[in-house]
Amino acid sequence: MHLILTGGHSGLGLELTKMLLNQGHQLGLILRNEKRKADAIDAIGASDNIDFFFADLSKQSDIRQVAKEIISKWDVVDGLFSNAGVLLEQAYYSDQGNEMHFEVNTLAPYILSRELMPALEKAQNPFIVVTASGSAREINNWSPDIPDLKKPAKFVKLTGSYRYSKLALVMLMVHMAEENKHIRIISLNPGAIDTKMARGKGAPFFIKLLRPFVFEAPEKGAQRVYDAAFGDKYQTHTGIFVSSKGEIQHIENKLNSRHLGQINAAIIEEE
């Protein structure tokens, strides 16, 4: 299969890259720059089964450009793993003026999915799998505040902008699944995984305390992402959320037209 993966050179994405290569898939890794390509080759070796594409996922024009390059090179995309994400120590703003968690964790997977849609629609049994976090129970009780995601009144590490950006992502994917019945769209929680994100400045102190005892190896997170795409149990479902235990959870909470309007207003359309 021809599979696109973001964040495939580090953390659980790197383990996913290795698993997919072992299965003989053709991979398109979307990486930030040439340095990341060198990192990826260091980690997995050179392979004819990888095509490298470049985009800074915080830049909407980069996402559009990379999607064009992918479509022109491959024509058909069988699956998209939107796995890249950020967990930051303070509010940063993208070139488009959106808080960075909202930009990279919510908008980027949405824009990439939309831009790759023509290539996904040509595949026989296409899928989009996004690496989210948290639980569906929490999503079902959440009142999305998109203006606060775009520009938080008060920045809170992990349990603020990060968490809400992922909840918004899941709800956007449910919305996409309703609009695109041909493409299976699944969000999942990969579990608490010991990666550079979990060790970085964006992780609050309690994560640093818990990490050595509770956090699992990146292979475990990669396996959960892989299973969400290929596991038999998920083949007939779309618009679902898969918990870190592999349970299918349905999202009853829906984005309304006001939310969708606010999200679309944060996306700068090409001239």
By the criterion CB under 6 A, which residues form the site for ligand NAP?
A: 7, 9-13, 32, 36, 56-58, 83-86, 104, 131, 133, 190, 192-193, 195-198
Tell me 93's DSSP state.
B
Q: How far is the CB of 211 from ligand NAP (least distance, A)?
A: 9
| Length of the chain in terms of residues written | 271
Give CA–CA dist 81/58, Å, rounded. 17
Residue among 21 and 123 whose Cβ is closer to ligand NAP? 21
**Residue 6, Cβ neighbours under 10 Å: how many?**
28
Residue among 12 and 120 whose Cβ is closer to ligand NAP? 12
**Residue 88, Cβ neighbours under 10 Å: how many?**
19
Give CA–CA dist 239/236, Å, rounded. 11
Which residue has its beta carbon closest to ligand NAP?
11
Best CA proximity match to 5, nearest among 70, 87, 99: 70
Contacts of 78 (CB under 8 A, 6+ apart): 1, 2, 3, 120, 123, 124, 125, 126, 127
Three-point CA angle 165, 153, 156, nearest 5°: 55
Q: How far is the CB of 237 from ligand NAP (least distance, A)?
A: 20
Q: How far is the CB of 195 from ligand NAP (least distance, A)?
A: 3
Residue among 123 and 243 whose Cβ is closer to ligand NAP? 243
Residue among 65 and 122 whose Cβ is closer to ligand NAP? 65
Best CA proximity match to 148, nearest among 91, 95, 198: 91
Residue among 74 and 162 whose Cβ is closer to ligand NAP? 162
Q: How far is the CB of 248 from ligand NAP (least distance, A)?
A: 18
Q: How far is the CB of 144 from ligand NAP (least distance, A)?
A: 18
Residue among 76 and 138 whose Cβ is closer to ligand NAP? 138
Give CA–CA dist 232/203, Å, rounded. 34
Q: How far is the CB of 8 from ligand NAP (least distance, A)?
A: 7
